[in-house]
């Protein structure tokens, strides 16, 4: 067996377990056509990659995965196949991202893109590429042979020579779900659906009144089907057979009775005239609106018991737990309980950003303070490894046993060191009882077909304390906690009128001031040239101002503004990071106190938190005279995008070519504590390649890995994770990097990398080419020509004018592309190539567009796009040709809307320039809603507040936070209808009026609403002073006669 696997990289070959090697050999014996159906958590990903790597000469490789685990696949590829260059991996992000499919060695596509009706260009490009090696992860997603995704994928798989299907649950509930997978693997043997259904699915005709239906949801000859699968196509191993050292999984069914309440009475009345009989597991016989009402009542009745049970488990158990639920209302209630009891948790549901999921998983696995993971069964049921938990609670049930088993095995998989206890909460007298019996019946059918032996859903009954806790819980109705009037939380107060008299002409003006209570403070009136400050000396019990409070002031110079400043109530201090967390000096992320590095940017904890003005462009250079590392910082980072700053910085910085590894020899003292080998003579005995001149680095577009190249740009087939260097986790590094000289280059890179902010790091990552110094590369990108504009967003008129100029220069024409409405034809888009009138030539029409009114262009439907003389559309952002070599001319015309942007980078740049919502999302992906000035996690505060339904508790949270400094009306809106925009804003570092419009990500930052108001106020004051200075001068010259 070892000889047959000698083609694998040594590190991957040593990582594979014995049963995994058997799976790879089975795939090779079947000529690369098999179904790897091992139980969840047995490493099917590594087996598929190892088998596909054997056929690498037949690549390109196509991998089709669920969207939730696409980044996990890229991480595994880069980790175990270092031969793969980071630019050889292409992740198809949208329906127009077809440009890299012909050139990439590995393309990754999600099921969502394939079945989306508007992604015809992607489907056509995949067919035209004629992939010969395919991997289909979670292949049970093509179980429905009538779905659009299955109809496209089955022919694609049939035409491939090598195909590897991976799933832990090939059939979720019945044998008919196996047919599309078997047809794709062996089309000669499984080519007739009717024969398969009659033989293995107990197919028969059943009448429902006048309607006859062909029923194939049964099972027959299950043992024969299992024998057919295991002898030729499928390999399946159970954890109990191959992982004897893995702790067992124990299930507990905890039945409970719902306590009498008004909601229960409503439920009983609603169900008194209906029955719970069912035709099929998915359909009720009564009307849909009645079903929805009953379902809502059932969920509401279970909220209280689930909240109390989760609270009891948190108090009695110190272990980490996973709570699965299906409905948003249930997830919110569980999160509310955890917030009220000050228990830290993570939450992953359908609204969670895909790029944030690996971060949340890593947080749950590493951070001991995070005890609970609140997960959605559909959004987080596959592809996650949460072995830090050993208790799994199902607040709701699912009709499919395969989904339940997938959720259970997020914790019960390789790496688990404790017994996994699974708790099913089943409400008696509800649909839960029927669902449990259906799960038991379906489990018997599935296990007989796949495992060859009958197995039931075995579960012990829960203890009396758990049943008593659930049965005695009060019904929880979130609607009762909502009050129509939120004024009781932040009562409005009438402002008082204060008159300030002049002692000469008895004129007065009126100021509106908020009354404030004062106690035991001195009252003094101090006259200033510009204002009058008042403090109290005696206690004022009533906020009403009396005549004695009127302050008479002497007459001041004209055009002097006199202000009465009444001190307000002392606002609570700004929220500080918890004592058990520390704020990163670079990305400001709040990390747990036990971590010596930042989880986001891997900055060491020892560094002091920098302010926003201190986080500037820093360049590490080496002084050849004193042999010390010099940190060059630009104090004008916020204005670094201006042309003058770019020229000064460019003149003071060396180029990439001038920077050599020989100038970094002084780093030995700084990195001595991190070096794996302290003795040079000992290191010289090891078979290492020493790169004295240094490395070139290339960052992965999709993961945190950094790939290494030699000084000439040759790929060294090595990569590393910066976090491993900071954590001194040297076992994860390639052996060559353990040499002190090589390791020293990595530590220098880490210092340079950590000196950049997260937004600047993303710009370096986007570069995509090997570099020597990330800071110098960023400065060169600034030199590359960034246009300064005081126009905030790009408009359709700007695009139309640019398209007209481009069409005129290439002797092309223009066309109008727009997305069609659902009421129009079935086409996804409409394209008007006959836009110009018949009496106008091409050049006349282009000129007409150039001279058109700007408001008319902005109000038109769709975009004006340039087309060259050959008929190829040009990108509306960069005006380059759309990659049409993989798409037919008819598709370019019928799906013109998908051709407006040529690549993912153009798409990102365009939406950053033209959309406020997209810019906000991009900034959140980089900084996760954390204020870059005060460090408060504003978005996390909003999320916690939004999960709480009790408005009084919402008001208490706001009053005890920094947001209590906001205006009263704003706080009332936060309580009634909280929105993320009320808590944090996206701020332009270089203001738009100064040329910061249509900027990239490095000119944007996150500010909480309090800091944003302060920054805006300060900027307005500076702006006012600047205007005064500009208009200040000697006006007497105006009156002088010429």
Q: Tell me how far apart the alpha carbons of residues 125 and 893 are, in angstroms, rounded to a whole number.
A: 15
DSSP-assigned letter for residue 789:
B
Q: 713's torsion region: left (phi>0), alpha (psi -120 to 50) or beta?
A: left
Burial of 859 (0-12, 13-18, 19+ CB in 10 A): exposed
C-alpha dihedral (594, 598, 599, 602), degrees to nearest 10: -130
Output the CA–CA distances (angstroms, integers) from residue 708 to 78, 162, 356, 703, 971, in the order listed: 12, 31, 26, 15, 51
Q: Which two tokens stand for residue 269?
A: 């009345």
Going 735 to 741 to 742 to 748, the CA torsion angle's sign is positive
Q: Tell me where in the chain the CATH 3.40.50.300 domain(s) lie.
A: 249-477
DSSP-derived pairing of the beta strands 249-256 and 420-427: parallel
Q: Tell me how far apart the alpha carbons of residues 398 and 425 are, in angstroms, rounded to a whole number.
A: 12
Q: Which two tokens stand for residue 504?
A: 């000469």
Topology (CATH) of 10-242: Rossmann fold (3.40.50)
| Other beta carbons within 10 Å of 888 | 12
Q: What is the pLDDT of residue 1012?
A: 94
Q: Which residue has the tokens 């070892």?
A: 2
* DSSP-assigned letters across all residues of 696-736: EEEE-SSSS-EEEE-TTS-EEEEEE-HHHHHTT-GGGS-GG
Q: What is the pLDDT of residue 1038?
A: 57
Q: Tell me how far apart the alpha carbons of residues 328 and 792 are, in angstroms, rounded to a whole number.
A: 37
Q: Tell me how far apart the alpha carbons of residues 878 and 865 are, in angstroms, rounded to a whole number.
A: 11
Q: Which residue has the tokens 């994928």?
A: 153
Q: What is the pLDDT of residues 236-276, one digit of tens each?
A: 998 888 888 888 888 888 888 887 766 666 666 656 554 44
Q: Tell me how far apart the alpha carbons of residues 302 and 396 are, in angstroms, rounded to a whole number.
A: 9
Q: What is the CA radius of gyration of the chain?
A: 33
Q: What is the pLDDT of residue 857?
A: 76
DSSP-derived pairing of the beta strands 581-583 and 590-592: antiparallel
| Distance, CA of 826 to chain centre | 33
| Other beta carbons within 10 Å of 459 | 18
Q: Tell me where in the chain the CATH 3.40.50.10810 domain(s) lie.
A: 10-242
Beta bridge partners of 565: 533
Dmax over CA atoms of the chain, in Å, equals 112
Q: What is the pLDDT of residue 403?
A: 85
Contact assessment for residue 78 and residue 86, using Cβ atoms and an 8 Å cutoff: yes
Contact assessment for residue 185 and residue 34, using Cβ atoms and an 8 Å cutoff: yes
The angle at the Cα of 777, spanning 780 to 104, to the nearest 5 degrees, equals 115
Q: Which residue has the tokens 């089943």?
A: 426
Q: Which residues, given as ranges, of the chain have pLDDT below 50?
A: 274-288, 484-486, 493-577, 607-674, 677-686, 821-839, 1042
Contact assessment for residue 1012 and residue 934, using Cβ atoms and an 8 Å cutoff: no
What are φ and ψ of residue 337, in 5° steps? -60, -40
- Helical packing angle, 288-316 and 262-271, nearest 10°: 140
Helix, strand, or coil here: 338? helix
Contact assessment for residue 777 and residue 656, using Cβ atoms and an 8 Å cutoff: yes
Beta bridge partners of 863: 817
Q: What is the pLDDT of residues 117-162, one digit of tens each?
A: 888 889 999 999 999 999 999 999 998 888 999 999 999 999 999 9
Going 782 to 783 to 787 to 790, the CA torsion angle's sign is positive
Q: Which two tokens stand for residue 858?
A: 């902005």
Domain 249-477 has CATH 3.30.565.10: no
Q: Tell me how far apart the alpha carbons of residues 888 and 597 are, in angstroms, rounded to a whole number.
A: 51
Contact assessment for residue 899 and residue 889, using Cβ atoms and an 8 Å cutoff: no
What are φ and ψ of residue 59, in 5° steps? -65, 160
Q: Tell me how far apart the alpha carbons of residues 850 and 11 are, in angstroms, rounded to a whole number.
A: 61
Contact assessment for residue 373 and residue 322, using Cβ atoms and an 8 Å cutoff: yes
Q: Which two tokens stand for residue 857?
A: 């262009």
Helix, strand, or coil here: 448? helix
Within 13 Å of residue 492, how many CA atoms lie on the same side as its CB? 8
Q: What is the pLDDT of residue 191?
A: 87
Helix (H) or strand (E) holding 25: helix 18-29
- Helical packing angle, 18-29 and 44-54, nearest 10°: 40
Q: Tell me how far apart the alpha carbons of residues 628 and 633 are, in angstroms, rounded to a whole number.
A: 16
| Distance, CA of 994 to chain centre | 32
Q: Tell me how far apart the alpha carbons of residues 799 and 796 are, in angstroms, rounded to a whole number.
A: 5
Q: Tell me how far apart the alpha carbons of residues 355 and 365 are, in angstroms, rounded to a whole number.
A: 17
Q: What is the pLDDT of residue 594?
A: 56
Contact assessment for residue 369 and residue 580, using Cβ atoms and an 8 Å cutoff: yes
- Helical packing angle, 357-366 and 70-80, nearest 10°: 70
Output the CA–CA distances (angstroms, integers) from residue 994 to 699, 788, 920, 1001, in the order listed: 33, 8, 21, 17
Q: Tell me how far apart the alpha carbons of residues 557 and 185 are, in angstroms, rounded to a whole number.
A: 92
């Amino acid at each position: 067996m070892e000889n047959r696997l000698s083609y694998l990289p040594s590190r991957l070959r040593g990582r594979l377990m014995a049963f995994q090697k058997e799976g790879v050999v089975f795939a090779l014996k079947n000529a690369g056509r098999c179904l790897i159906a091992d139980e969840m958590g047995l490493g099917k990903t590594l087996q598929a990659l190892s088998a596909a790597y054997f056929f690498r000469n037949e690549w390109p490789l196509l991998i089709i995965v669920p969207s939730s685990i696409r980044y996990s696949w890229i991480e595994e590829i880069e980790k175990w196949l270092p031969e793969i260059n980071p630019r050889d991996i292409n992740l198809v992000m949208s329906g127009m991202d077809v440009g890299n499919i012909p050139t990439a060695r590995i393309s990754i596509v999600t099921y969502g893109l394939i079945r989306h009706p508007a992604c015809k260009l992607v489907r056509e490009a995949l067919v035209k590429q004629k992939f010969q090696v395919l991997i289909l992860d979670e292949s049970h997603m093509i179980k429905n042979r009538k779905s659009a995704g299955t109809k496209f994928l089955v022919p694609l798989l049939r035409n491939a020579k090598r195909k590897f299907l991976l799933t832990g649950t090939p059939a979720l509930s019945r044998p008919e779900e196996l047919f599309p997978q078997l047809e794709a693997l062996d089309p000669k043997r499984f080519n007739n659906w009717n024969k398969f259904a009659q033989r293995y699915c107990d197919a028969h005709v059943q009448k429902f009144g006048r309607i006859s239906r062909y029923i194939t949801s049964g099972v027959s000859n299950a043992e024969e089907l299992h024998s057919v699968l295991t002898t030729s196509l499928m390999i399946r191993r159970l954890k109990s057979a191959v992982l004897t050292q893995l702790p067992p999984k124990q299930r507990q069914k905890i039945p409970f009775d719902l306590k009498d309440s008004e909601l229960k009475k409503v439920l009983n009345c609603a169900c008194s005239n209906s029955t719970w009989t069912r035709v099929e597991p998915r359909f009720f016989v009564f009307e849909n609106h009645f079903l929805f009402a009953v379902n809502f009542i059932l969920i509401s009745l279970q909220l209280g018991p689930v909240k109390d049970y989760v609270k009891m488990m948190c108090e009695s158990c110190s272990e980490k737990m996973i709570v699965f639920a299906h409905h948003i209302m249930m997830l919110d209630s569980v999160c509310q309980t955890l917030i009220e009891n000050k228990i830290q948790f993570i939450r992953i549901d359908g609204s969670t950003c895909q790029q944030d999921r690996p971060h949340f998983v890593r947080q749950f696995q590493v951070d001991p303070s995070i005890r609970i993971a609140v997960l959605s069964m559909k959004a987080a049921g596959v592809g996650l490894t949460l072995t830090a938990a050993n208790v799994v609670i199902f607040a709701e049930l699912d009709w499919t046993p395969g989904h339940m088993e997938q959720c259970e095995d997020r914790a019960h998989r390789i790496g688990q060191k404790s017994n996994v206890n699974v708790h099913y909460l089943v409400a008696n007298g509800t649909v839960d009882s029927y669902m449990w019996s259906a799960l038991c019946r379906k489990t018997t059918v599935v296990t007989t077909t796949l495992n060859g032996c009958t197995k039931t859903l075995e579960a012990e009954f829960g203890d009396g304390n758990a049943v008593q806790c659930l049965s005695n819980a009060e019904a929880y109705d979130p609607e009762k906690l909502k009050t129509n009037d939120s004024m009781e939380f932040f009562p409005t107060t009438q402002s008082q009128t204060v008159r300030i008299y002049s002692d000469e002409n008895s004129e007065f003006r009126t100021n509106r001031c908020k009354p404030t209570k004062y106690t035991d403070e001195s009252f003094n009136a101090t006259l200033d040239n510009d204002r009058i400050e008042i403090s109290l000396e005696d206690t004022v019990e009533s906020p009403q101002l009396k005549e004695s409070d009127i302050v008479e002031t002497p007459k001041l110079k004209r055009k002097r503004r006199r202000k009465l400043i009444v001190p307000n109530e002392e606002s609570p201090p700004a929220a500080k990071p918890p004592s058990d967390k520390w704020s990163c000096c670079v990305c400001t992320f709040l990390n747990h106190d036990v971590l010596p590095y930042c989880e986001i940017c891997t900055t060491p904890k020892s560094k002091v938190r920098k302010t926003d003005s201190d986080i500037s462009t820093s360049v590490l250079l080496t002084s050849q005279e004193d042999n010390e590392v010099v940190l060059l910082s630009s104090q004008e980072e916020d204005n670094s995008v201006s042309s003058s700053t770019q020229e000064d910085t460019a003149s003071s910085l060396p180029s990439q070519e001038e920077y050599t590894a020989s100038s970094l020899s002084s780093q030995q003292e700084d990195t001595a504590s991190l070096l794996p080998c302290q003795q040079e003579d000992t290191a010289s005995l090891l078979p290492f390649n020493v790169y004295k001149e240094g490395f070139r680095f290339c960052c992965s577009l999709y993961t945190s890995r950094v790939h290494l190249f030699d000084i000439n740009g040759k790929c060294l087939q090595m990569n590393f994770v910066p976090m491993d260097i900071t954590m001194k986790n040297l076992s994860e590094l390639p052996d060559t990097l353990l040499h002190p000289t090589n390791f020293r280059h990595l530590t220098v890179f880490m210092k340079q990398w950590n000196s950049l902010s997260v937004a600047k790091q993303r710009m370096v990552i986007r570069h995509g080419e090997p570099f020597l110094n990330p800071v110098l590369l960023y400065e060169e990108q600034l030199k590359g020509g960034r246009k300064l504009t005081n126009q905030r967003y790009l408009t359709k008129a700007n695009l139309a004018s640019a398209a007209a100029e481009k069409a005129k220069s290439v002797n092309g024409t223009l066309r109008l592309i727009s997305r069609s409405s659902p009421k129009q034809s079935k086409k996804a888009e409409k394209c008007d190539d006959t836009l110009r009138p018949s009496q106008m030539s091409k050049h006349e029409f282009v000129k007409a567009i150039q001279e058109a009114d700007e408001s008319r262009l902005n109000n038109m439907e769709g975009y004006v796009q340039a087309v060259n003389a050959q008929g190829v559309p040009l990108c509306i952002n960069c005006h380059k040709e759309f990659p049409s070599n993989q798409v037919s001319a008819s598709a370019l015309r019928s799906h013109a809307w998908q051709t407006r942007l040529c690549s993912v980078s153009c798409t990102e740049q365009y939406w950053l320039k033209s959309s406020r919502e997209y810019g906000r999302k991009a900034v959140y992906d980089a900084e996760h809603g954390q204020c870059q000035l005060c460090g408060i996690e504003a978005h996390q505060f909003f999320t916690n507040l939004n999960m709480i339904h009790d408005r009084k508790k919402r008001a208490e949270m706001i009053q005890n936070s920094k947001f209590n400094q906001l205006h009263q009306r704003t706080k009332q809106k936060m309580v009634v209808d909280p929105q993320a925009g009320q808590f944090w804003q996206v701020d332009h570092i270089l203001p738009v009026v100064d040329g910061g419009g249509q900027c990239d990500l490095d000119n944007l930052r996150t500010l909480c609403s309090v800091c944003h108001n302060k920054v805006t106020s300060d900027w307005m004051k500076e702006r006012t002073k600047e205007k005064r200075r500009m208009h200040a001068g000697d006006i007497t010259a105006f009156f002088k006669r010429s």
